[in-house]
Amino acid sequence: MTDVRVRIAPSPTGPLHIGTARTALFNYLYARHHGGTFVLRLEDTDVARSSTAYEQDILDGLHWLGLTWDEGPGVAGEAARGGYGPYRQMERLDRYRAAADRLLAEDRAYPCYCTKEELDAERARLEAARLPPRYSGRCADLTPAERAAFEADGRRPALRFRIEPGLVAFDDLVRGRVEIDASALGGDMVILRADGTPLYHFTVVVDDAAMRISHVIRGEDHLSNTPKHILLFRALGEAIPAFAHLPLILNPDRTKMSKRKSQTAIGDYIAQGFTREGLVNYLALLGWSTGTEEEVLSLDEIASRFDLDHVQKGGAVFDRERLEWLNGQWIRRLEPVELVDRLRPFLAAEVAAGRIDRQPTDDEVLTLVPLIQERLPVLGAVGELIGFLFRERVELDPALLVPKRWDAATALQGLAAAREAIGAVGPVRFEADELEPPLRALAEARGWKAGDLFMAIRVAVTGRTAAPPLFDTLVALGRDRALARLDAAIEVLAAAA
């Protein structure tokens, strides 16, 4: 195999989509596995819908995932890389123009003076007759005089590429041989708008050829467009790259994953506390497998195992539960200091939202890591787990203070007795090992199940029924605050009674 050059060509018309990220990942993996080059190209020719904010989101997201590109455009603070630039299509207009001129000169393309209204009407007519939409070719054989008349009329022409009849076939690396008759392509296609800007199907071919892309790895939604591209490669006299069409990522109803039915923006997953390791691992396994029973794999491990042979043909439903499981696997594998690092912005968000009073120090969080590491499906869950430690007071629901097997009076007694037992442990000895024996003894002496007593205490000091282990929780809280919260809980319970 010659030099492997692959690319991801996002369009900055929206935030980084999960499907784009997956396609980028597969291209990256293919490049890394084969020692090839991974190119990033921005397809920004839809000026009306493109924005630099989206562009930034896409670049940041890819970067965050660890999908570094070998060649790509210059971005804030970073110079362009690669010898095939520029890598923004709006900066390559001269090339599309030149390619279009060549096609025009060779009569492979022709000016089309049809207006939007005329084309819409034509399409509507075909649709009403239950026929497939297709351009009639009305402007295909205009005489010079007719063209001059349109021009005189002030009409600006679009440029159409002639789709010649015939069968177009290619060997897709995941689907095998695919054959499509050119007559099913919808007629001659517009490659340049009336304003002179090029269209996707044209730019993608001109650029893939110019950038010497060897393998086009993209979503299955482009499978039936591929013959158009092949025809263009041929007309331009360029080598045709290999194609690999990946299965689509699906909504739960098995339609193409969409913003309407699923969470599609990578940024939202990042904001919720998914890790790059978990997301990459999950995305790689959506439509690909190692062929073995290995599942928890790093980006490098995946790259070393990656191949197109094990890419699935059928679409894959996005399963958030499985993603959360994998994410938890990766959170548990993080070094404690690394976890502290990753948790910092999520704790800051808790402060910003007013859910905790202050940002915990790194040291504080580090001592809590053993208590929370295996309890975080996503980093964003950290607030629920340890928020009670960094809040002046906790909201207490009197009902929760009474364990299921107890009544309010017992709970009141239990909390009072616990307050006394905990208070009896001096500040110097305030350790988990010192707290557990007296509280167990207390439960035994009163004939309570230890779990019930512990639950009442847990709710009193954390406000929740689910929390890290109780004695560690008390220690983390500190003697004074633990006692104060028990007092407050007793008060709340007494008031409710």
Q: Which residues are catalytic?
A: 259
* Structure-token pair, residue 197: 């800007």
Read off the DSSP letter of residue 81.
B
Pick between residue 174 and residue 347 the one whose CB is nearest to RNA: 174
Is 365 exposed, middle or buried, given 0-12, 13-18 or 19+ CB atoms closer than 10 A?
buried
Residue 455 binds RNA, judged by CB under 7 A: yes
* Structure-token pair, residue 17: 């989509």
Site for RNA in 89-108 (CB under 7 A): none
- Are 487 and 419 contacting, i.e. CB atoms less than 8 angstroms apart? yes
Pick between residue 1 and residue 79 the one whose CB is nearest to RNA: 1
Among 280, 467, 476, 482, binds RNA (CB under 7 A): 467
DSSP annotation string for 297-364: --HHHHHHH--GGGB-SS-EE--HHHHHHHHHHHHHHS-HHHHHHHHHHHHHHHHHTTSSSSPPPHHH
Between 471 and 490, how does the x/- string for binding to RNA read (CB under 7 A)? xx------------------
Instruction: Tell me the longest C-alpha to C-alpha distance in the chain.
Output: 108
- Are 216 and 244 contacting, i.e. CB atoms less than 8 angstroms apart? yes
Among 95, 138, 212, 322, binds RNA (CB under 7 A): 322
Give min distance, CB of 417 to RNA, in A. 16
Residue 196 CA, chain-centre distance (Å), reads 34
Residue 116 binds RNA, judged by CB under 7 A: yes
Among 3, 106, 268, 319, binds RNA (CB under 7 A): 319
Pick between residue 451 and residue 478 the one whose CB is nearest to RNA: 451
Residue 201 binds RNA, judged by CB under 7 A: yes
Residue 175 binds RNA, judged by CB under 7 A: yes
Helix (H, G, I), strand (E, B) or coil at 469: coil
- Are 147 and 183 contacting, i.e. CB atoms less than 8 angstroms apart? no
Give min distance, CB of 243 to RNA, in A. 12
Residue 13 binds RNA, judged by CB under 7 A: yes
Among 74, 133, 423, 478, binds RNA (CB under 7 A): 133
Pick between residue 38 and residue 330 the one whose CB is nearest to RNA: 330
How long, in residues, is the chain? 497
Site for RNA in 31-50 (CB under 7 A): 43, 45-46, 49
Residue 444 binds RNA, judged by CB under 7 A: no
* Structure-token pair, residue 237: 């006299």
The Cα–Cα gap between 118 and 156 comes to 14
Residue 393 to residues 33, 419, 462, 486, 493, Cα–Cα distance (Å):
54, 17, 9, 11, 15
Q: Which contacts (CB < 8 Å, 24+ apart) does range 276-281 have?
A: 276/64, 276/65, 276/66, 277/330, 277/333, 278/323, 278/326, 278/327, 278/328, 278/329, 278/330, 278/331, 279/21, 279/65, 279/323, 279/327, 280/25, 280/65, 280/66, 281/326, 281/329, 281/330
Between 404 and 423, how does the x/- string for binding to RNA read (CB under 7 A)? --------------------
Between 234 and 273, how does the x/- string for binding to RNA read (CB under 7 A)? -------------xx-x--xxxx-----------------
Beta strand 167-172 pairing with 176-181: antiparallel
Among 343, 470, 475, 476, binds RNA (CB under 7 A): 470
- Are 73 and 42 contacting, i.e. CB atoms less than 8 angstroms apart? yes
As beta bridge partners, residue 39 has 7, 71
Residue 451 binds RNA, judged by CB under 7 A: yes
Residue 275 binds RNA, judged by CB under 7 A: no
Residue 186 binds RNA, judged by CB under 7 A: yes
Pick between residue 214 and residue 327 the one whose CB is nearest to RNA: 327
Give min distance, CB of 79 to RNA, in A. 24
Site for RNA in 64-83 (CB under 7 A): none
Pick between residue 29 and residue 114 the one whose CB is nearest to RNA: 114
Among 93, 194, 483, 496, binds RNA (CB under 7 A): 194
Among 7, 32, 305, 458, binds RNA (CB under 7 A): 458
Among 66, 85, 86, 469, binds RNA (CB under 7 A): 469
Residue 340 binds RNA, judged by CB under 7 A: no
Q: Give the interface segment with RNA, choosing from 133-141, 269-277, 340-348, 358-366 (CB under 7 A).
A: 133-141
